[in-house]
């Protein structure tokens, strides 16, 4: 089987995949013209969606694409073919995303940023630290990553709630409600962790009306997709004190434009789309597992339903 790798870190992926599956014929390049030349002879592509979408636009037709990202938005653009199997990266981001969420939750509880300011001002800051125990955490998007984040938080004594496309029973959540119940659910949450994918149903969810439902002491963390948030409404909500703060990892435009209000918004911390980078080792492991299933005519982990968009 001939596999095309279209990745920024293509040399590393080629080496790892060659070691894990030496029977595969692996081709790759860092040059877009060379990738285009190689693509017609490769039924299977592995790589990042933006580079793969460019190859699809040129008319190349794979039989299966394995994305190295959890999000596959570039491959869902209008006009691109959908007559192939597409799998997204699943099962490899849970731990690192959970660590990201926990980092900023603890920073919030322990007033770390305020204490840094106190230190700069040479002011002794002896207010007592708070604990996560007993906090209500709402995980918005309880799929593969959201489930792992919830499991990771269980030992900290939090009470877990979730939002999914429709209500369902799902441990360890006390309740998983449908998207239509988001206003009711955020009203009782100390932490709102957004992990929703980019679909038409998730655009502009976090608007002025929803932010008014937040607890004034709540922290909002967005590591899902930037299009879920109405930027100006978040900035105004922070200014009005509708929520205590926000940690924003993903934005509508990246890198963020120099004049964007997020840079100077009160109570907002930017983390530059760093929450859950892909581990090449874990990604190659997933790809090899899916390749074996693909060659056996079996179901693939992370297979995308083009109608749903994930």
- Say which residue the tokens 């940690």 belong to: 247
- Say which residue the tokens 């929803």 belong to: 210
Distance of CA 197 to the CA centre of its chain: 7
Q: What is the mean pLDDT of the chain?
A: 97
Report d(CA 214, CA 226) in Å as an integer: 19
- Helix orientation angle between 94-109 and 144-153, rounded to the nearest 10 degrees: 50
pLDDT value of position 233: 98
Threshold 0.85, pTM exceeds = yes
pLDDT value of position 50: 96
Q: Is the pLDDT assigned to residue 307 strictly greater than 90?
A: no
Helix, strand, coil distribution of the chain in percent, nearest 5: 40, 15, 45
Of 81, 77, 46, 40, give the one whose Cα is nearest residue 64: 46
Runs of H (alpha helix) within 136-230? 144-153, 182-186, 208-211
Q: Is the pLDDT assigned to residue 93 strictly greater than 90?
A: yes
Q: Is the pLDDT assigned to residue 308 strictly greater than 90?
A: no
List pLDDT tens digits, range 101-121. 999 999 999 999 999 999 999
- Say which residue the tokens 């949450």 belong to: 189
Strands (E), 29-148: 44-47, 64-67, 85-87, 136-140
List pLDDT tens digits, range 68-81. 999 899 999 999 99
Arithmetic mean of pLDDT, 142-156: 97
CB 139 within 8 A of CB 162: yes
Report d(CA 300, CA 297) in Å as an integer: 9
CA distances for 164 relative to 132, 208, 225, angstroms: 24, 21, 15
Report d(CA 282, CA 270) in Å as an integer: 27
Report d(CA 234, CA 159) in Å as an integer: 25
Runs of H (alpha helix) within 157-279? 182-186, 208-211, 231-240
Q: Is the pLDDT assigned to residue 97 strictly greater than 90?
A: yes
CA distances for 145 relative to 39, 93, 99, 163, 166, angstroms: 31, 6, 12, 13, 17
Q: Is the pLDDT assigned to residue 14 strictly greater than 90?
A: yes
Q: What is the dihedral of CA 171, 173, 175, 177, to 10 degrees?
A: -90
User: How much of the chain, in percent, has pLDDT values that exceed 90?
Assistant: 97
């Amino acid at each position: 089987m001939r596999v095309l790798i279209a990745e920024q870190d293509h040399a590393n992926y080629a080496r790892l995949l060659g070691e894990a599956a030496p029977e595969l014929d692996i081709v790759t390049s860092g040059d877009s013209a060379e990738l285009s030349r190689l693509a017609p002879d490769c039924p299977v592509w592995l790589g990042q969606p933006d580079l793969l979408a460019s190859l699809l636009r040129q008319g190349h037709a794979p039989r299966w694409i394995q994305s190295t990202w959890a999000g596959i938005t570039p491959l869902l653009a209008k006009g691109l073919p959908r007559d192939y199997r597409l799998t997204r990266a699943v099962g490899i981001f849970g731990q690192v995303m959970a660590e990201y969420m926990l980092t900023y939750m603890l920073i919030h509880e322990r007033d770390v940023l305020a204490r840094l300011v106190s230190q700069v001002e040479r002011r002794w800051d002896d207010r007592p630290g708070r604990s996560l125990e007993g906090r209500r955490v709402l995980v918005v998007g309880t799929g593969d990553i959201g489930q792992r984040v919830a499991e990771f938080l269980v030992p900290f004594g939090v009470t877990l709630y979730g939002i999914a496309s429709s209500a369902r029973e799902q441990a360890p959540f006390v309740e998983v409600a449908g998207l239509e119940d988001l206003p009711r659910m955020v009203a009782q949450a100390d932490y709102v962790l957004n992990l929703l994918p980019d679909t038409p149903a998730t655009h502009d969810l976090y608007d002025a009306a929803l932010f008014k439902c937040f607890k004034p002491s709540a922290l909002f963390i967005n590591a899902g997709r930037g299009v879920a948030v109405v930027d100006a409404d978040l900035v105004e909500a922070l200014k009005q004190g509708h929520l205590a703060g926000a940690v924003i990892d993903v934005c509508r435009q990246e890198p963020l434009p120099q004049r964007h209000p997020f840079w100077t918004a009160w109570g907002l911390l930017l983390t530059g789309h760093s929450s859950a980078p892909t581990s090449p080792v874990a990604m190659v492991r997933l790809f090899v597992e899916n390749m074996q299933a693909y060659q056996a005519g079996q179901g693939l982990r992370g297979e995308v339903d083009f109608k749903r968009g994930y």
